[in-house]
C-alpha cells in the first residue's frame, strides 16, 4: 500500500511539473511573492522570512522523523535522507533569517508551498526509509559519487572566483543567495540592483541553476522514481521562473543590464 502511494505521488509530481512548466511558460505569470508581490490583491499575507520558514519546514521534519525513528532499511537510504535534511535545514532555519525583504507572501502561496513540501518530504523520506537499496548492490558507485558531487562539491573551490564552473549544486545556490541578500542590504531602502560577481556574470539566476543541479545530482545518486520526479518538477518549476526573472532584470535596468547574460544555463540559455 505504501509503495503504491509513493509511486502514485511521484507520477502526480511529474504531471504537476509539466502543468506548471506549460502554465508559467505560456502565461508568464509569476506567483505573487518577492519582487512580484502585489499587496493590493494579496489579501492575508505573512512576512517573507516567516513564510519561508513555515512552508519549507515539512520537507525537513518528515524526513527527520524517518531518520530519528531509525526506520531505514539501508545505510544508503539513511544517507539520502541526510541530504534532504541538509538542504531543507538551510531553507527552513538559516535562509529565512538572512533575508532583508519587506515584501510579504500571500497565505495561499504559503499553503501551496507547505502542501508541496509535505508531499515531497513524505515520498522522499518514506522511499529512502523502506525501499532504497544499498548503492553497492544495484547502484554503480560512479553514479552515486557523481550525483553527490553535483549536490554539494568541495568547499575548497566554492569561494574562489577562479573556479566558477567547479562550483556545483548547493554551493552555487548558497553563494547566490548570499549575493542577492547582500545586494538588497547594501542598496537604499532594500531596493533591487544588478547582481555582480560569481555566476551572476554569466546568468541571471544562479540560485535556480544551483538548485536544479542539486536535485539532478540527488536523482542521479538515488536513481529512484521519487527522486527523479522531484528533480523533474524542480527544473519545470524553476526554468520558466528564471526566464521571467531574466526578462524582469532587462526591462527594469534596460541598457545597463549585461547583454551577454543568459537566464539559467551559462553560455547556453
pLDDT of residue 31: 57
Read off the pLDDT of each residue in 84-100 and give the average, rounded to a whole number.
89
Instruction: List, for residues 199-219, the tens digit of each pLDDT value.
Output: 788 888 888 888 898 999 999
Burial classification of residue 3, based on how many CB atoms lie within 10 Å of its CB (0-12 exposed, 13-18 middle, 19 or more buried)? exposed
Contact 197, 113 (CB under 8 A): no
Contact 264, 236 (CB under 8 A): no
Mean predicted lDDT score pLDDT of the chain: 82
Residue 166 has pLDDT above 90, yes or no: no
Predicted confidence band of residue 100 (pLDDT cuts 50, 70, 90): confident
Beta bridge partners of 105: 46
Read off the pLDDT of each residue in 184-202 and give the average, rounded to a whole number.
69
Residue 159 has pLDDT above 50, yes or no: no
Task: For residues 102 and 140, give the distance between their C-alpha atoms in angstroms, rounded to a whole number.
Answer: 47
Burial classification of residue 193, based on how many CB atoms lie within 10 Å of its CB (0-12 exposed, 13-18 middle, 19 or more buried)? middle
| C-alpha grid cell, residue 68 | 530519528
Per the listing, cell 521519487 goes with: 226
Please, which residues have CB within 8 angstroms of residue 106's CB and are 6 or more apart in sequence?
32, 33, 42, 43, 44, 45
Q: Residues of the chain with pLDDT > 90: what percent?
A: 41
Q: Is 135 left (phi over 0), alpha (psi -120 to 50) or beta?
A: alpha
Burial classification of residue 203, based on how many CB atoms lie within 10 Å of its CB (0-12 exposed, 13-18 middle, 19 or more buried)? buried
Per the listing, cell 513555515 goes with: 54
Please, which residues have CB within 8 angstroms of residue 48's CB and are 6 or more apart in sequence?
33, 34, 96, 99, 101, 102, 103, 104, 105
Read off the pLDDT of each residue in 136-154 and give the average, rounded to a whole number.
76
Task: For residues 267 and 122, give the distance between their C-alpha atoms in angstroms, rounded to a whole number.
Answer: 37
Residue 160 has pLDDT above 90, yes or no: no
User: Closest Cα partner for 46 from 112, 108, 104, 110?
Assistant: 104
pTM equals 0.86
Q: 260 or 7: whose pLDDT is higher?
A: 7
Predicted confidence band of residue 68 (pLDDT cuts 50, 70, 90): very high
Burial classification of residue 30, based on how many CB atoms lie within 10 Å of its CB (0-12 exposed, 13-18 middle, 19 or more buried)? middle
Compute the residue count for the chain.
Answer: 269
Read off the pLDDT of each residue in 140-163 and give the average, rounded to a whole number.
65
pLDDT of residue 185: 63
Q: 136 or 69: whose pLDDT is higher?
A: 69
Q: Give 133's DSSP letter.
A: P
Amino acid at each position: 500500500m505504501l509503495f503504491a502511494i509513493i509511486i502514485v505521488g511521484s507520477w502526480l509530481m511529474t504531471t504537476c511539473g509539466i502543468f506548471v512548466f506549460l502554465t508559467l511558460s505560456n502565461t508568464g505569470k509569476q506567483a505573487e511573492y518577492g519582487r512580484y508581490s502585489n499587496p493590493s490583491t494579496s489579501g492575508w499575507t505573512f512576512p517573507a522570512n516567516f513564510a519561508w520558514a513555515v512552508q519549507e519546514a515539512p520537507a525537513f521534519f518528515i524526513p527527520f522523523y524517518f531518520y530519528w525513528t531509525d526506520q531505514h532499511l539501508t545505510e544508503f537510504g539513511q544517507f539520502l535522507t541526510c541530504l534532504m535534511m541538509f538542504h531543507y535545514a538551510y531553507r527552513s532555519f538559516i535562509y529565512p533569517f538572512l533575508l532583508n525583504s519587506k515584501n510579504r507572501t500571500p497565505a495561499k502561496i504559503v499553503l501551496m508551498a507547505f502542501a508541496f513540501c509535505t508531499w515531497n518530504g513524505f515520498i522522499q523520506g518514506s522511499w529512502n526509509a523502506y525501499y532504497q537499496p544499498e548503492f553497492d548492490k544495484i547502484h554503480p558507485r560512479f553514479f552515486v559519487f557523481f550525483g553527490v558531487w553535483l549536490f554539494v562539491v568541495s568547499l575548497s573551490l566554492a569561494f574562489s572566483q577562479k573556479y566558477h564552473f567547479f562550483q556545483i549544486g548547493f554551493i552555487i545556490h548558497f553563494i547566490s543567495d548570499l549575493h542577492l541578500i547582500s545586494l538588497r542590504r547594501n542598496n537604499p531602502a532594500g531596493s533591487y540592483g544588478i547582481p555582480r560577481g560569481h555566476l551572476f556574470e554569466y546568468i541571471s539566476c544562479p540560485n535556480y541553476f544551483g538548485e536544479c543541479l542539486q536535485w539532478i545530482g540527488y536523482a542521479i545518486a538515488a536513481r529512484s522514481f521519487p527522486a527523479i520526479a522531484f528533480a523533474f518538477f524542480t527544473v519545470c518549476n524553476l526554468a520558466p521562473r528564471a526566464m521571467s526573472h531574466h526578462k524582469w532584470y532587462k526591462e527594469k535596468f534596460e541598457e545597463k543590464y549585461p547583454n551577454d547574460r543568459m537566464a539559467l544555463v551559462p553560455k547556453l540559455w
